[in-house]
Homo-oligomer: A and B are copies of this chain.
Amino acid sequence: MNIETIPAPNPFAETETGKTPAHQSVYENLRAMILFGDLAPGQAVTIQGLVSELGAGMTPVREALRRLIAEGALTHQGNRRVCVPELTPEGVDELGFMRSALEPELTGRAAHRMTAQHIDTLRAVDADLNAAIATGNIGGYLTHNYRFHAYIYASADAPIMAATVDRLWLRFGPSLRVVCGRFGTSNLPDKHADLLAALESGDVDAARQAMAEDVAQGTRQIREALSDGNGPVSSD
């Protein structure tokens, strides 16, 4: 799962020894598992379970958990239980509103700055994405779809907004997996072609518009999947 191609500010890649702290790798591991649906909504997460599963010490695991809880990727379920949050219809609403407000803006800013080379990279990511869709590879779809968006937002030169949006994706992730598991990869939202065309022709407003539609489609899909099932998505 190499998503390190995203040109994001990495404050931990300073030491030339190439060693990342244990808490950092635990965090990245867990984060990817949540973001790409390896952990189902509602699933409980225990410290000691992770200690034995990841072979890490207790303190790093604690810190990674604390961080993910702060980001909303995990929730403190009352007593001392930690679990992946289940997305309610109201939650989808909030996330959808915020995504619609922020992601087109980030896209517009990115459109101003992206060079032809950047767009080529993005097109490659989109090719991976389409391949995953064609083969029904859900994990690949989630990964590459995230990479596609993350790459754009990282190009917007707006780190605070990008980090904020990233956290919203962390909340969508687990449910996206469930939705895909229910409906397959057949009619997934894909305004990416429009978006790429707009970026290439330098049409900032069209890029914004395409992203807005992509976000709206994705939000609608999750909302429908939720109202289709019984209440909040569950791991069944």
**A contact residues vs B (CB 8 Å cutoff):** 11-12, 14-15, 23, 59, 62-63, 66-72, 75-79, 90-91, 94-95, 97-98, 101-102, 105, 157-161, 163-164, 167-168, 171
Contact = CB atoms under 8 A, between A and B. Distances in A.
A79 B14 contact: yes
Contact of A67 (B67, B168, B171): B67
Classify the interface of chain A: helix, strand, loop or mixed.
Answer: helix
Contact of A94 (B62, B71, B160, B167): B160
A76 to B, nearest CB: 4
A71 B76 CA distance: 16
B71 A160 contact: no
20 contacts: A11-B75, A14-B78, A23-B66, A59-B59, A66-B70, A67-B69, A67-B70, A68-B70, A70-B70, A70-B71, A90-B157, A90-B158, A94-B158, A94-B160, A94-B161, A97-B161, A101-B105, A160-B171, A164-B164, A164-B168
Nearest to A91: B160
Contacts of A62: 59, 63
B94 A98 contact: no
A205 to B, nearest CB: 17
Contacts of A67: 66-67, 69-70
A152 to B, nearest CB: 16
A67 B159 CA distance: 18
